[in-house]
Structures are given as structure tokens and as C-alpha cells.
């Protein structure tokens, strides 16, 4: 299905699965998500966002879209990072509610059932993963990062995990961030907080060990690039 194909009716839930070179885990993650979406009994679409993969993930995504109803694929010609993934999801999905899952399989699909009832009286639901087994340096960087956000922007929701939001929130909060990092999500949460949106944060998220590969997010180049974008966002806001 083409990313620009029109739809006759918007689904209740759009689930974006984003992947950059996740051939080993993409299929099981997508099938797990589909099974949970069908179990929930809500109208849905599953959108695979292929972020410039070169290991066969792109082809596997296309195969899944051809095999499974309700699955479509958006391919990035080059790797655009988390910022590019979120902006694509924000602009290209159709559901009343929107969520993002990485294709590495660390977050179980049961989070969908955990979040949907919470959306009844929330505009955004934000997950939280406790850093029990992470190295000291990783925990320290994360705490310093949260402190920096609070100093630059004021009160900031607790978020480290899976997010679900109402599509209408994006319609009334235009976003300007355009970098590779997750600053576009920060911008959304800052503007949502300042606008009085109903935010449910700190919701506990289960986390599984990766079955294949290594994290592509928590590394020094990504953190440095994100900090540069944070100060640019502060200048704009």
C-alpha cells in the first residue's frame, strides 16, 4: 500500500513500528503488534517506518505489507534518526490515537492494552522505564539530561518509554524542530504542557532484553547531537 493512498475512514489506533537495520526482529515485532491490535478489537493501521535500512529490513517490511492486511510501509531514502521517524509518523498516519514502537522488540505489545483505557481522559500517555541494570554513566547522563530540560524549559513530564497521543493534539500544536534527535518529541511535550493538555506521565513500561543487535539511540554522538538541538529549541521557544 502506498504511503499516500487515501483512506475512506480513519482507524481508531495507528501503531508505528520504526526500524533501522532490524531484519532479525522486525517480523516477530510486527506480528506481535498485529495480534494485540486484533485482540483489542479496535480499528487500526500498522505503519512500518523503515529509516534507511540497508540489511534487508526494507524488503522484509514490504513482504509484511503484502502479506498482512492493515500494514503499510514508509521508506526513508536515508537514515533520518528518531526525529525523522517521529515527524514521518506525525504527518503520515490517520488514526485517532497514535503510538510508536521500536522494531527491536524490547517493548511488548501488551502496552497497547495498558494505554488505551488511559486515553479516555488524557491527550498524551507517557511511559517510564526504570534504569535498574544500566551502567552508572548511563544513569548519570539521563539524570543530567532531565535536569537540563527542567532548567531550560521548566516542568517537564516524566517520559522514557512508549508514548501514545491523540491525533488532534498535533493539529493544534505546530512543531518546528527538524533535527535527527528526539527534540521534536520534547517540543511536543513542552507545548502540550504549556497549553494545558491532559498528560498522564510516568506510566510503568515493561522492558525486555534485545534479542539481536545493539541500541542505536543511547550513544555519545546521538546525545551530543541532541543537546545541540535542545539549545536551538530553547532559542526558538
Distances 202 to 60, 115, 156, 160 between C-alpha atoms, Å: 34, 12, 11, 8
Quick one: what percent of the chain has pLDDT higher than 70?
86
Tell me the per-residue pLDDT of 47-86, one tens digit each, with 9 for 90 and over.
Answer: 999 999 999 999 999 999 999 999 999 999 999 999 999 9
Starting at the edge strand that comes first in sequence, how are the strands of the sheet with 71-76 ordered? 71-76, 44-51, 13-19, 97-102, 163-166, 124-128, 199-204
pLDDT, tens digit (0-9, with 9 covering 90-100), for 84-135: 999 999 999 999 999 999 999 999 999 999 999 999 999 999 999 986 666 6
Instruction: Give the whole-angstrom CA distance, residue 53 versus residue 21.
Output: 5
pLDDT at 6: 47
Identify the pLDDT of residue 4. 44
Q: What distance in Å separates the CA atoms of residue 220 and residue 182, rounded to the nearest whole number? A: 14
Residue 194, CA distances (Å) to 67, 119, 160, 236 in order: 43, 19, 20, 15
Q: Which among 22, 21, 18, 20 has a CA at the least distance from the CA of 46?
A: 18
Binning the chain into helix, strand and coil, the percentages to the nearest 5 are 45, 20, 40
Read off the pLDDT of each residue in 147-175 and give the average, rounded to a whole number. 90
If DSSP codes are grouped into helix, strand and coil, which group holds residue 42? coil
Nearest Cα neighbor of 40 from 103, 117, 107, 123 is: 117
Residue 135, number of CB atoms within 10 A of its CB? 9
pLDDT confidence tier of residue 28, bands split at 50, 70 and 90: very high
> What is the C-alpha separation between 76 and 141, in angstroms, rounded?
30
234 pLDDT more than 50: yes
Q: Catalogue all structural domains in the chain, each as residue range(s) with its CATH number.
A: 13-236 (3.90.550.10)
Among 120, 80, 110, 87, residue whose Cα is nearest residue 16:
87
Amino acid at each position: 500500500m502506498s504511503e499516500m493512498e487515501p483512506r475512506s475512514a480513519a482507524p481508531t489506533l495507528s501503531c508505528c513500528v520504526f526500524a533501522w537495520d532490524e531484519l532479525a526482529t522486525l517480523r516477530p515485532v510486527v506480528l506481535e503488534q498485529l495480534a494485540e491490535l486484533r485482540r483489542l478489537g479496535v480499528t487500526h493501521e500498522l505503519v512500518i517506518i523503515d529509516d534507511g535500512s540497508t540489511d534487508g529490513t526494507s524488503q522484509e517490511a514490504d513482504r509484511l505489507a503484502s502479506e498482512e492486511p492493515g500494514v503499510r510501509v514508509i521508506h526513508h531514502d536515508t537514515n533520518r534518526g528518531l526525529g525523522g521517524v517521529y515527524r514521518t509518523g506525525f504527518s503520515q498516519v490517520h488514526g485517532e490515537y497514535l503510538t510508536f514502537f521500536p522494531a527491536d522488540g524490547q517493548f511488548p505489545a501488551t502496552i497497547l492494552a495498558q494505554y488505551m483505557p488511559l486515553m479516555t481522559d488524557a491527550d498524551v500517555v507517557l511511559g517510564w522505564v526504570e534504569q535498574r541494570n544500566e551502567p552508572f554513566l548511563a544513569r548519570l547522563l539521563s539524570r543530567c539530561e532531565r535536569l537540563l530540560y527542567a532548567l531550560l524549559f521548566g516542568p517537564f513530564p516524566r517520559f522514557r518509554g512508549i508514548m501514545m497521543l491523540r491525533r488532534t493534539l498535533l493539529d493544534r500544536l505546530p512543531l518546528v524542530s527538524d533535527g535527527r534527535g528526539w527534540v521534536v518529541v520534547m517540543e511536543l511535550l513542552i507545548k502540550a504542557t504549556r497549553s494545558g493538555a491532559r498528560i498522564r506521565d510516568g506510566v510503568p513500561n515493561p522492558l525486555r532484553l534485545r534479542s539481536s543487535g545493539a541500541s542505536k539511540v543511547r550513544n555519545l554522538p546521538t546525545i551530543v547531537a541532541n543537546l545541540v538541538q535542545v539549545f536551538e529549541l530553547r532559542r526558538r521557544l
